[in-house]
Structure 1
Amino acid sequence: MTRQLKGGNQLDSAVFQHFRPEERPFIERINDWRNQAMNEYRPILTNFLDPRQIFLIETVVGKVDDSFRYWQDGGYNQSERRRVIFAPGYFTPESQDYHIQLFEIKYPVKFATLSHGRILGTLINSGVDRSQFGDIITDGETWQFFGVESMASFFEEQIVKIGSINVRVEPVPILDAVKPVVDWQEESIVATSMRLDTIISETFNISRQRAKELVEDQRVQVNWSVNQHPDFQVDLLDMLSVRKFGRVQVLDVLGRTRKERYKLKIATLRRQPLSY
């Protein structure tokens, strides 16, 4: 994947009109990464980015140019969260250039049950930034996660319990990654607007008022951050997590109905017992 940033070394102010005000710092970082790679003539590696951030990179970065490229990897082909390398045209990265380490969580399988939510909560509550680790995967029994290579000692020494379960985190080769059990389902919905509460209401078949209450009660995250604004405008590849319901991501806007409602293609991961 190769793209060139629009506008040379500087971003045109018009670029920001297409994105949310709160996304402006990240868009400026995209330009900084690109400039650093070009000015220092070396690859620049990011931490793990979420799907929306990667979408912003792909949107802001323009036509292909042999003088500048960017690459991305999350440890396996279907990864959601990925590290990105911005580099001069001469550079072609190898797997080790992403400095991604796979970690396996050892726990008493016969006597305990882990879940994505419990593992995620433990990692975040340990004080590590979300950008320091990527996807959490499982084949139904074995649990693994991808992390920044330099954080290996931290994960090994600090993650010794998940809830009341004693665990041990061990680095393992990337090639030992399990084949993830993927329960995402593609669906289509029709929504009157792109409001956060409306998307939640239509996806999980609950009332608009109930969806509004979930948002205001801090039970909804957008791109892994709590969002308490029911009127927040959801955009492409935003990841919505609704506690006790599951996750939803808007994949595409398919058009409008005669009544000007949005026809949306979404991916859903509906909650299973002990999953969140």
Structure 2
Amino acid sequence: MSIYQHFRAEEKEFIDQVLEWKEYVSSAYTHKLTDFLDPREQQIVQSLIGKEDDVRVTFYGGSDDSERKRALLYPDYFQPEVDDFAITVFEVKYPKKFVTLEHRQVLGTIMSLGLKREKFGDVILQGDRIQFIAAAEIESYVENNLDKVGKAGISLEKVSLDAVIQSDQQWQELVFTASSMRLDVLISSMTNLSRQKSQMLIEGKRVKVNHKLIENTSFECGEGDVFSVRGFGRFKIISIDGKTKKDKWRIQAGKQK
């Protein structure tokens, strides 16, 4: 039985990478730190590493409720510390009386620096305060190259992990059953739209899964996936709890308030 049959075809490259990390830690008997992973990637790493092996894994992204996290793979003797995750927290200082900055503006500016998205964790907003998480290895580059968001001049202040603000993001629990894990079926259930309307949203390029635009209505979804549906908000699959007697999937999901 192939390990790949439990995952999507497009995830094969990432699965191979995780297996390489695991082999490295096992053979070199040392730890391996990854870039920031989205929730689906975290779920894949967790499932491939398991819980009863000589290689273990812990995730951390700056706070307990971080969405994007770095994974630390390590041998069973190793005791991971927060410092091992090499995370830097930047607070954005800007003229708040005259300028309003949004999440998409901050993220867009970060992405314009020419660095991989995987080098950054969450962008966190609370009121008019803005922070973003970055890998420590790019700290100097970010400090030297980020001085504007849009047309607003900004400065960056490094803050401790203890000072990470709690996101305004809250999730409303959704519990439902679905006949399959197809994208159109799940969007229909989470938005209370008909299957036909959910298909129109997907084909109309209004749905992203894990920040990637998906136009295939039959795209197979899984635990840990995060959905952005333009006009309806953000959703995530928290857990898949087996099947009912009528052969439907039991799903726990969340809708961002």
Does the 8 Å CA contact 1:136/1:145 hold for their aligned counterparts?
yes
Q: Distance in 1 between matches of 2:189 and 2:151?
A: 36
User: Cα distance 1:171–1:265, how it changes in 2: closer, same or farther (>3 A)?
Assistant: same
Which of 220, 228, 234 is the aligned partner of 2:207? 220
Task: Map 1:188-207 to 2 at 5 A.
Answer: 188-207=175-194
User: Counterpart of 2:5?
Assistant: 17
User: Cα distance 1:232–1:42, how it changes in 2: closer, same or farther (>3 A)?
Assistant: same
Q: Give the secondary-structure state (helix, strand or coil) at the position aligned to 1:91.
A: coil
User: Counterpart of 1:6?
Assistant: none
Does the 8 Å CA contact 1:155/1:169 hold for their aligned counterparts?
no
Which of 22, 42, 48 is the aligned partner of 2:36? 48
When structure 1 is superposed on structure 2, of 91-100 and 254-263 the one drifting more is 254-263
Q: Distance in 2 between matches of 1:167 and 1:244?
A: 30
When structure 1 is superposed on structure 2, of 198-207 and 129-138 the one drifting more is 198-207
Task: Map 1:100-249 to 2 at 5 A.
Answer: 100-249=87-236
Task: Quote the offset at 1:254 in angstroms.
Answer: 4.3
Task: Quote the offset at 1:260 in angstroms.
Answer: 4.6
When structure 1 is superposed on structure 2, of 211-220 and 176-185 the one drifting more is 211-220
User: Counterpart of 2:82?
Assistant: 95
User: Counterpart of 1:26?
Assistant: 14
Cα deviations across residues 146-169 of structure 1 (Å, max 9, x unaligned)?
110111123223333333333223
Does the 8 Å CA contact 2:126/2:168 hold for their aligned counterparts?
yes
User: Counterpart of 2:27?
Assistant: 39
Does the 8 Å CA contact 2:241/2:249 hold for their aligned counterparts?
yes
Task: Quote the offset at 1:138 in angstroms.
Answer: 2.4
Q: Give the secondary-structure state (helix, strand or coil) at the position aligned to 1:87.
A: strand
User: Counterpart of 1:8?
Assistant: none
| Aligned residue identity for 2:124 | I
Does the 8 Å CA contact 1:50/1:81 hold for their aligned counterparts?
yes
| Aligned residue identity for 2:113 | S
Q: Give the secondary-structure state (helix, strand or coil) at the position aligned to 2:115.
A: coil
Q: Give the secondary-structure state (helix, strand or coil) at the position aligned to 1:215.
A: helix
Give the length in aligned residue pairs: 257
Q: Distance in 2 between matches of 1:39 and 1:24?
A: 22
Q: Distance in 1 between matches of 2:242 and 2:156?
A: 46
Cα deviations across residues 135-186 of structure 1 (Å, max 9, x unaligned)?
1222222111111011112322333333333322332222221122232111
Does the 8 Å CA contact 2:178/2:249 hold for their aligned counterparts?
yes
Q: Give the secondary-structure state (helix, strand or coil) at the position aligned to 1:188.
A: strand
Q: Structure 1, unaligned stretches of length 5 or more? A: 1-12, 271-276
Task: Quote the offset at 1:100 in angstroms.
Answer: 0.3
User: Counterpart of 2:63?
Assistant: 76
Which of 237, 240, 253 is the aligned partner of 1:253? 240
Cα deviations across residues 213-266 of structure 1 (Å, max 9, x unaligned)?
332233221112111111111111111112332111112234556765444221
